[in-house]
Homo-oligomer: A and B are copies of this chain.
Amino acid sequence: MTRPLRLSTLFLRTLREDPADAELPGHKLLVRAGYIRRAAPGIYSWMPLGLRVLRKVERIVREEMDAIGGQELSFPALLPREPYEATNRWTEYGPNLFRLHDRKGVDMLLGPTHEEMFTLAVKDMFSSYKELPLTLYQIQTKYRDEARPRAGLLRGREFIMKDSYSFDVGDDGLDEAYQRHREAYIKMFDRLGFDYVIVHADSGAMGGSASEEFLAVSPVGEDTFVRCEASGYAANVEAVVVPRAPAVDEATVAATPAAHVEDTPDSPTIATLVSQADALHPRSDGRGWTAADTLKNVVVLLTHPDGSTEPLAIGLPGDRDVDAKRLEAQVAPADWRPFEAADFAAYPMLAKGYIGPGVLGEERSSGIRYLLDPSVAEGSAWVTGADEHGKHVFDLVLGRDFTADGTIQAGEIREGDPSPDGAGPLTLARGIEMGHIFQLGRKYAEALDLKVLDENGKLVTVTMGSYGVGVSRAVAAVAEATHDELGLVWPRELAPADVHVVATGKDAAVFDHAGGLVDQLAAEGVEVIYDDRPKVSPGVKFKDAELLGVPTIVVVGKGLADGVLELKDRRTGERQDVPVDAAVEQILAAVRPGA
């Protein structure tokens, strides 16, 4: 027996208009269909139908975690500072961490993830290798003060996550725990019902080694990932490691003319430079200069979590931009922003628009660390800034005429770029990060001194993995992936109900029959939304049913006089008339296709 939800009393108001503050179609529909409501930027309330979907996601996650022996517990969201101080995350998290004082002035925080708490709990309770392996998890509300909360539940400031942690005595154990999670995640995401891809991931601020993300493939995703059809390689764009270009052969370098400075008036951009380069200094090989022949030097300002700042210069071919997210991943936990007028003022040797390797590098006049894109080969010749307004230098050869302090993986990755494994070209697509599995290694165990006795009675540091699933985000991701122009289209396992029964017209017999059907279905354990609103037109009722997105819609209306009901599949739009006597049986078959 499952209590039916009657629309005459359900706390629900559907909207015909898109909400002003929603950007993505799935988000708009979740608000229009009354599943969620915005309480503050990046903070949402769950209305009755939304909460049902959320609970179903939680159930799937819980079942798959239990199946790999995960043990559920629940840590507080409001936490003391000390453990996060010990791992330096109190500082590293920067402004993303919600910090507060209690009435005694004690520093506290709202937990963004709980590595510290889990590590300390295991340290306190377990002491021997015999008690490991161990996998603990929680499904819990977390907090991150995102600079740009986005798209409702997709990037919120208060959100629900499953976070789990594995504890092992050695790297092999960690590998196994990682694989177990990987398989559990595959089952979980298969059940959630959207296309996803598993990509190599940058480990970001978390520190550690092996790391993969589960991305819901979606044009509205915030993450860009690459795939190589030939090899199956897939990676988050932040995690792509562009191989170092092979050095230019010595003969070619020897044949390159000596570097020479030319007047290039009014050419502070690559485009303006290239447009006049042929006239100024034709290439010896006869083909014209292109942006790819120029070396662009981009200067940014890093802000470290402790508030200190540091400039950084990046040299890369002029036809390629710095990728904001790749750079972010490389400099984390620092933030970065482009150099601004005030920054240039502090470094007068930087001629804006004409910056070159002559002043860049820790050993040169600016003292600014200078890193090159790996595609800039040793021995390659470039047109680049001559550090004087209106002047560029030509035939400047890396290794012969200039050097840098190292390389950086911050240049953009483009469709058709070679796969790092050499197997073929890359394609690009976008995705929503739904899960992250991650070999933390010993970072947290070392910081918090989590050791156990091994077989020989020796204290060894425990190895840990950390594994996350965006539970509230999954509701949004499914909405984005499965909606159509009429409304939400829930996969059966997540739908707020199994069946949406619509009674139309004013005929009491229709409502009597529909009510009886609803009771019969409820008695069978079927979850029913029943549109029993007496004075609402059939058109509005049908529109609401499409909008709410329950997989099976049953219409009890005019057909009843002829002994038939209408069954409609929300996803396919397929309709069929069903004799009244066979209705329950056919609805059950639709609701439980496997049974």
Binding site for B on A (CB under 8 A): 3, 9-13, 34, 37, 39-40, 43-48, 50-51, 54, 66, 69, 71-80, 95-96, 98-100, 102-103, 108, 110, 117, 121-122, 124-126, 134, 136, 141, 143, 145, 147, 157-158
Contact = CB atoms under 8 A, between A and B. Distances in A.
B76 A40 contact: yes
Contacts of A76: 39-40, 43-45, 158
A3 B48 contact: no
Contacts of A95: 103
A121 B78 contact: no
Contact of A80 (B40, B79, B117, B121): B40
Given A47-B73, A125-B12, A79 B141 contact: no
B51 A143 contact: no
Contacts of A51: 72-74
B75 A39 contact: yes
Contacts of A147: 103
B48 A103 contact: no
A100 B145 CA distance: 12
A145 B39 CA distance: 22
Contact of A74 (B13, B45, B121, B143): B45
Contact of A11 (B37, B66, B73): B73
A362 B536 CA distance: 63
Nearest to A14: B125
Given A46-B73, A98-B100, A117-B45, A79 B40 contact: yes
Nearest to A97: B103
Closest A-B pairs by Cβ, 10 of them: A100-B100, A13-B125, A46-B74, A95-B103, A40-B80, A45-B75, A103-B145, A43-B76, A78-B158, A11-B71
A122 to B, nearest CB: 8
Contacts of A47: 73, 121
Contacts of A78: 40, 43, 98, 110, 143, 157-158
A46 B78 CA distance: 14
Given A48-B71, A51-B72, A103-B145, 12 more contacts: A9-B69, A10-B71, A11-B121, A11-B134, A37-B124, A39-B80, A40-B79, A40-B108, A50-B73, A51-B74, A76-B158, A95-B103
Contacts of A145: 102-103
A98 B102 CA distance: 7
A79 B41 CA distance: 10
A141 B138 CA distance: 15
A374 B99 CA distance: 48
A468 B100 CA distance: 27
19 contacts: A3-B66, A9-B69, A9-B134, A11-B134, A13-B126, A39-B76, A39-B79, A40-B80, A43-B78, A43-B79, A43-B80, A45-B73, A46-B74, A47-B121, A48-B72, A78-B143, A96-B103, A102-B157, A103-B145
Nearest to A75: B45
A11 B79 contact: no
Contacts of A102: 98, 145, 157
Contacts of A75: 39, 45-46
Contacts of A69: 9
Nearest to A74: B46
B108 A77 contact: no
A303 to B, nearest CB: 13
Nearest to A534: B130
A74 B43 CA distance: 12
Contact of A125 (B9, B11, B77, B158): B11
A117 B100 CA distance: 22
Contacts of A100: 98-100
Central interface residue in A117, A125, A134, by most chain B CB within 10 Å: A125
A98 B34 CA distance: 30
